[in-house]
Amino acid sequence: MHGIRTAAQARAWLDQQGKSVQEFAREHGVDPATTYQVLSGRKKGRRGESHRVAVLLGMKEGVVPERAPS
């Protein structure tokens, strides 16, 4: 699985871009608390919002479906 980031690499990637976890979450329309939980390993990113976060951070290969308009 080439190109998958660890949590530490994902945090370093955010730092490289000069973005906080909060900024990343706002930009991608995801919950900041879920983003912190994925980065800390408390959520594995298997389904739902945590899956979306893990894929967006590059910690997991997968598809992020478009969100339906509210």
CA separation, residue 10 to residues 28, 44, 66, 67 (Å): 15, 14, 22, 23
Q: What is the pLDDT of residue 1?
A: 43
pLDDT at 2: 57
pTM over 0.75: yes
C-alpha angle 45/13/56, rounded to 5°?
A: 35
pLDDT at residue number 63: 86
| Residue 25: per-residue pLDDT | 97
**Residue ranges covered by each domain of the chain:** 7-57
First-residue to last-residue Cα distance in the chain: 35
Residues 30/52, Cβ–Cβ less than 8 Å: yes
Task: Mark the ranges of the chain whose per-residue pLDDT is less than 50.
Answer: 1
Query: What pLDDT, on a 0 to 100 scale, did the predictor assign at position 16?
Result: 96
